[in-house]
Amino acid sequence: MRLPIGSIRSIAARLFLTAAAMSLVVLLIASILLTAYYRSEAEEVFERRLDVYLRAIVADVSESGQEGRTGPGQLGDPQFELPGSGWYWQITRLDDKSHEIKASRSLFTGTLPKLSDLGVPAEVGGFRRGYALGPDGRRLRIVERVIDVGDVGIYLVQVAGSGEEMEEQIGRFRFALIVAFGALAIALAIGAAFQVRFGLRPLRQLQRELASIRRGERERIMGNYPSEVAPLADELNLLISANRDILERARTQVGNLAHALKTPLSVIVNEADAAPGQLAQKVQEQAQIMRDQISFYLDRARAAARGGALGAATPVAPSIDALLRAFSKIYGDTGVIFSGGADPLLRFLGERQDLEEMIGNLLDNAGKWAKSRVTIDVSVDSGETASRPALRVIIDDDGPGLASHLRATATQRGRRLDETKPGSGLGLSIVVDLAAAYGGSLQLNDSPSGGLRAELRLPGF
């Protein structure tokens, strides 16, 4: 099925297909014109050849007065001697009832038809030209003329030639033209591919620069670009700078809001402490809830701002190693062993504190429920379902696990499935919110070791 140019999303493919289509059209038109021109020239040469033979015979008959002397020796072409060669001459006397005919040996026992009998009109000088079937059934080009030799008589002189030789020449020319234009088409296609690749090189360079900024390797687009691409690079640099400014102002406003709310809450709590009673206790309780809520949502706002920042990249391995050492000490008395690690080349596209908070909450949750071991593995997920490379953090424990119908509840804010375990019930919900701020996700599944598997996906490389 033909694919419309408009449905092709690749600029390189569009440019190449457009150039190839235009080249094909030009070559096709050129081949048609050249073939027509060559055919016209070949037919003109063929006509001139017939005219030369006719004039030679007419001159011989007129001068000698003896039409029988005119023969192939004077024409100088041996094809008039070969029977059925396709080249014939014939002289017919018209003023005699016998209509005596003299012909070339190539006609053998056949005769040439008269163009006058076929209704072909005469040209200036008494010439007639046209096509007719010869004695062997082949289509012949015939040229004839009536001449009056006075007392000797009136004669119809005819020369005929087969167009097979001409058609063979045209066929050979057409084949050579196809071969030459085919080679030219291949050369043009290679040239178009090179031109497209060379012309789009600045865009590929711009793509690499943007990828470097996304990975945190650079802060702005560098390099010299053509005049058509340079404005785009400048606008992207301005956009990146504006994005950083907006995020910085957002962080400042979040900090100002935190300070503005903490001070009134502290005053309310102090006033409640100065006047003990049931109302004061209720005020203190609600104030603490407000503090928790403000801290949670301010942290979430900071994470969302950091998640939208360009150029932030954190090495994963140092954070994983630090967390494993910390939790090994925290849970050292319980006998739970923390193991695993990450490739030193892996990076998280975000802030270090957010990465450590997410993985730390997951390790802490696994340590609370594990019997003897918690493992962590970090890899890159670059499969077909991923639009871009992402980090895949898997944390397994050998605890009792979690029923599938309770997994969604476990990630809700403030929900604790077991009050005997320490904690506020915010750990998994914080992980979910932080991962979502970075465009990631958290999934809880069964672990091969018998407990719970937490699979965290984050942007990275």
Query: Could you tell me if residue 199 is inside a domain?
Result: no
Which tens digits make up the pLDDT trace of 125-165?
Answer: 778 888 888 888 888 888 988 888 777 778 888 898 887 87
CA distance 413 to 416: 9
User: Residue 214 in contact with residue 310, Cβ under 8 Å?
Assistant: yes
Q: Same structural domain for residues 294 and 401?
A: no
Predicted confidence at residue 375, as pLDDT, reads 93
Give 46's contacts (C-beta < 8 A, 6+ positions apart).
Answer: 141, 161, 163, 166
Q: Same structural domain for residues 28 and 143?
A: yes
Q: Same structural domain for residues 449 and 324?
A: yes
Residue 402 lies in domain: 314-459
CATH number of the domain bearing residue 333: 3.30.565.10
Q: Same structural domain for residues 30 and 159?
A: yes
Q: Same structural domain for residues 21 and 107?
A: yes
Which of 59-73, 337-351, 395-409 bottoms out in mean pLDDT, i.e. has the lowest?
A: 59-73
Which range among 188-197, 220-229, 410-419 has the greatest average pLDDT? 188-197
Q: What is the DSSP letter of 105?
A: G
CB atoms within 10 A of CB 304: 17
Q: Same structural domain for residues 289 and 321?
A: no
% of the chain beyond a pLDDT of 90: 13
Which tens digits make up the pLDDT trace of 324-374?
Answer: 999 998 888 888 999 998 888 888 888 888 888 889 989 998 888 899 999
Domain end (from 168, 186, 214): 168
CA dist 456 → 227, 378, 441 (Å) = 44, 9, 6
Query: Could you tell me if residue 74 is inside a domain?
Result: yes
Query: Could you tell me if residue 198 is inside a domain?
Result: no
CA dist 256 → 25, 26, 261 (Å) = 68, 69, 9
Predicted confidence at residue 1, as pLDDT, reads 43
% of the chain beyond a pLDDT of 70: 84
Q: Same structural domain for residues 267 and 134?
A: no
Q: Give the pLDDT mean for 187-197.
A: 88
Query: Could you tell me if residue 159 is inside a domain?
Result: yes
Domain end (from 307, 339, 365): 307
Query: Could you tell me if residue 239 is inside a domain?
Result: yes
Query: Could you tell me if residue 95 is inside a domain?
Result: yes
CA distance 397 to 365: 9
Closest CA to 89 of 144, 47, 165: 144
Q: Same structural domain for residues 274 and 364?
A: no
Q: Same structural domain for residues 31 and 64?
A: yes
Closest CA to 142 of 111, 115, 102, 104: 115
> 352-369 and 278-307 helices cross at what angle (nearest 10)?
120
Query: Could you tell me if residue 204 is inside a domain?
Result: no
Q: Same structural domain for residues 128 and 160?
A: yes
Predicted confidence at residue 335, as pLDDT, reads 87
* Count of structural domains within the chain: 3
Predicted confidence at residue 30, as pLDDT, reads 92
Query: Could you tell me if residue 358 is inside a domain?
Result: yes
Q: Strands across the sheet with 441-446, in order?
A: 337-341, 373-381, 390-397, 452-459, 441-446
Q: Flag whether pLDDT at 31 surpasses 50.
A: yes
Q: Same structural domain for residues 114 and 242?
A: no
Which of 118-122, 232-236, 381-385 bottoms out in mean pLDDT, i.e. has the lowest?
A: 381-385
Q: Same structural domain for residues 250 and 340?
A: no
Q: Give me the chain's average pLDDT, please.
A: 80
Instruction: Work out whether strand 337-341 and strand 373-381 pair parallel, antiparallel, or are unpaired.
Output: parallel
CA distance 272 to 20: 83
3-state DSSP assignment of residue 129: strand
